Amino acid sequence: MKNDPFKIQEGSVKDSKLKGFSENRHSGDYLDFIWVKSSQTLGSFFAENKSHRLFQIFLLVLFILFSRAFYLQIIQGDSYRDRAEGNRIRHEIVRANRGLIYDRNGVQLVKNVSHFFLYLWPDHWSDETKKQETLKKLSEVLAIPQSDIEERLVEAKKGEKVLVFENVAYEQAIQLILVAENNPSIEISYEPRREYFPQFGLSHELGYLGVVSEKDLAAHKDYNYNDRLGKTGLEYIYENILRGQDGFRQIEVDALNRAKNSIGWQEPKDGNDIVLTIDAAAQNQLYSVMAKNAASFGKNKMAAIVLDAKDGGVLAMVSLPSFDNNIFTSALKKEEYNTLMTDPNTPLLNRVVSGEYPFGSVFKPVIAGAALEEKVIDENFSVQSTGGVQIGNNFFPDWRPAGHGKTNIKWALADSVNTFFYTIGGGNNQWLDKGLGMEKILQYAAKFGFGSQTKIDLTNEAEGFLPSQAWKEKTFNDRWYLGDTYNLSIGQGYLLGTPLQVAMEMSYFATGKSFQPHLLKGIKQEATLDEKATPVLLENLISQNNLDIIRDALKKTVEIGTAKSLQSVKVPVAGKTGTAQFNHNKTPHSWFASFAPYDNPQIVMVVLVEEGGDTGLAVTVSRQFMEWYFNK
């Protein structure tokens, strides 16, 4: 058994070469404590201060993680919950209809027409390849260069959709809707847009809508980048009334942004309708008369306004050349915009309220009224017109080279006799030593509203210009001469104003007061019309007796003076012609300001023809319109 290999051997260790073991001791019988004492113990792996530091770092990391979790889940929890919900729910704006605009008789002047619109969501493209595939497909369907689409994408704001194409044709819209089924970056909507009726020639008055700018967004927090708002005219002035309140729909979508269920809806609220003082029939007639005469005589730049003499409401207003404001209802192409902006006839200018012109003889009734009121002259004062007035080396002419003969105030206005107005304005001649003088003339000009806005409810109204001695010295380094006063007395020189201001002047001579001109008659509130009282701008400027003298003189303009062709009108007309020089190398402007019927004025009318000369074209336009108006 001694050599049995499966039997555990007992006894001492035989291998004396095993270091540390004794040949005579039995394995495991005892511990050698002497050996233990001589060995080294296992110390700490880190110093105690390092352990404390690691523990502090550990606590700091835990604190940061806890704080971040608290911020995300508690403080920003609602926000991230909304974002997560937004990935599942699509929020779509439902456009409200803009309020409509009607004339005083209920004739509709604008309408809202719905069209298909193509939007893109750039954030939904996963990569450049997907973007290019989308743009290529859109280019094929819309039959437009891909570069045109890319140009619109430059305007993209992060997280916002971009309007790429407006007024998409029905057939194209159907194709795009099918493409959008598998392409979440494409959105097709059906929205209302403004449409105007060009036959009325109301482009300047109605104005137009335009895209929202950064400045607009800052001023209107409830607008977005794809909104439209009024930019000019009544669309701008009454933006807050006409604009409705958009609604919205919430749609549950899948991972490909495809609609699954409608889970929310808010009804849009349409804007309020407004009613204007405009008479659509009169507006259409005036526009037609002016357009025909412009074509016949080659005078393309005109302005005309017809006011209700009893309240200052604008019955008709036309500025030529006009423009089609429908081009602004969609994305305006640069070529179209540049064509409008570079047109030498400035079609975007509303000449009635923004054009500034020398008045010429239509300013003479103001001079006549001032001279009577200041007792510079009386009704019986007269001069002998022989063709002009010589002052030193300067000659100031009448328009009739042979003169007008003996002239009192009524004949002076009826036949527009310059010599009479040189005399009462500046004096210093054989008939009058002292006239009104520059300061009194400018004082009365200001009283009649010249040099300031009327505050009509339109954009870009000009103030006109009243010169002064200080202004001339500063501008030209020259003093004010008697000749300057003579020119001022006949509405020439540095004096400038608008056709609307002349209408205010003529309104005063028609009725003894001028109401603030306006286009808004009222706001439709359900079945009622909310109308506001019209303030009076001009009254009590001269005595009733002096007013009657001027009115009678204006009637004689039609009876025996420079506007006898107006006798064909069914009712008596009173008025004042004017020819205003503005450039020695160009034909002067032609004016006619009038009111009718004389005994009970219903309308006040002013017509300006730029470079119309002394052919009487302004009188012709007035006559043709009044013949229609008082025979309708």
Chain centroid offset of residue 626 CA: 33
Range of the domain at 126: 100-276
Q: What pLDDT, on a 0 to 100 scale, did the predictor assign at position 527?
A: 67
Residue 601 shares a structural domain with residue 507: yes
Domain boundary among 249, 276, 303: 276
Q: What pLDDT, on a 0 to 100 scale, did the predictor assign at position 82?
A: 55
CATH at residue 411: 3.40.710.10
Cβ-based burial of 54 (10 A; exposed 0-12, middle 13-18, buried ≥19) = exposed
Q: What is the pLDDT of residues 414-471, one digit of tens each?
A: 999 999 999 999 998 889 889 999 999 999 999 999 999 999 999 999 999 999 999 9
Residue 505 shares a structural domain with residue 393: yes
Q: What is the pLDDT of residues 489-531, one digit of tens each?
A: 999 999 999 999 999 999 999 999 999 999 999 998 766 777 7
Residue 230 shares a structural domain with residue 309: no
**40: pLDDT strictly greater than 60:** no
Q: What pLDDT, on a 0 to 100 scale, did the predictor assign at position 446?
A: 97
Residue 315 shares a structural domain with residue 360: yes
Residue 308 shares a structural domain with residue 435: yes
Residue 399 shares a structural domain with residue 426: yes
How much is the average pLDDT of 183-204? 89
What span, in angstroms and rounded, lies between the C-alpha atoms of 483 and 499? 26
Residue 271 shares a structural domain with residue 377: no
Residue 429 shares a structural domain with residue 576: yes
What span, in angstroms and rounded, lies between the C-alpha atoms of 374 and 447? 14
Q: What is the pLDDT of residues 85-139, one digit of tens each?
A: 545 676 777 888 899 999 999 999 999 988 888 888 888 787 888 888 888 988 8
Tell me if 223 is assigned to some domain: yes
**8: pLDDT strictly greater than 50:** no
Domain count across the chain: 2
CATH at residue 197: 3.90.1310.10
Residue 216 shares a structural domain with residue 318: no
Residue 393 shares a structural domain with residue 452: yes
Residue 268 shares a structural domain with residue 168: yes
What span, in angstroms and rounded, lies between the C-alpha atoms of 384 and 382? 7
Cβ pair 566, 344 in contact under 8 A: no
The pLDDT confidence band at residue 219, using thresholds 50, 70 and 90, is confident
Close Cβ partners of 460 (under 8 Å, ≥ 6 residues apart): 232, 350, 353, 354
* pLDDT: which is higher, 252 or 399: 399
The pLDDT confidence band at residue 378, using thresholds 50, 70 and 90, is very high
Q: What is the pLDDT of residues 255-312, one digit of tens each?
A: 666 667 777 788 889 899 999 999 999 999 999 999 999 999 999 999 999 999 999 9
Give the whole-number percent of the chain exceeding pLDDT 90: 56
Tell me if 329 is assigned to some domain: no
Tell me if 93 is assigned to some domain: no
